[in-house]
């Protein structure tokens, strides 16, 4: 289960880093371009800021949703293995055998 948590943490970190980079880049572009007195520039800037905020919210909601689903799947797998340990061992062995055969073919 710790590998699931590590994956979730890495995924969130990469997503957060990408979003932060996008935010910084867009903010730099908005600050450095255009004449602040130009009405078209003001409208474009407001539209870009609104779009950025919407993207932040959607990404946050999506990452929360994926995190919740991954956590539920991990708990279900954990419960299954606790209820039926020998079947869990068999499934793990079969998966290992299958992966081993695929790697051996290369």
Whole-number Å distance between alpha carbons of 61 and 87: 36
Contact (CB, 8 A) for 33 and 77: no
Whether 100 has a pLDDT exceeding 90, the answer reads yes
pLDDT tens digits, one per residue of 10-55:
555 666 677 777 777 777 776 766 666 677 777 777 777 787 777 7
Whole-number Å distance between alpha carbons of 93 and 99: 10
Q: What pLDDT was estimated at residue 10?
A: 57
Task: Please work out, in degrees rounded to the nearest 5, the angle formed at the alpha carbon of residue 98 by the alpha carbons of 96 and 104.
Answer: 100
Average pLDDT, whole number, for the chain?
77
Contact (CB, 8 A) for 78 and 1: yes
Contact (CB, 8 A) for 25 and 52: no
Going by pLDDT thresholds of 50, 70 and 90, the confidence category of residue 1 is very low
């Amino acid at each position: 289960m710790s590998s699931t948590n590590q994956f979730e943490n890495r995924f969130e970190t990469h997503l957060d880093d990408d979003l932060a980079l996008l935010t910084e880049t867009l903010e730099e572009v908005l600050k450095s371009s255009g004449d602040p007195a130009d009405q078209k520039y003001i409208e474009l800037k407001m539209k870009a800021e609104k779009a950025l905020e919407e993207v932040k919210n959607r990404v946050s909601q999506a990452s929360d949703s994926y995190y919740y689903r991954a956590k539920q799947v991990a708990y279900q797998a954990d419960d299954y293995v606790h209820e039926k340990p020998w079947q869990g061992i068999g499934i793990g062995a079969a998966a290992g055998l299958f992966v081993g055969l695929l790697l051996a073919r290369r």
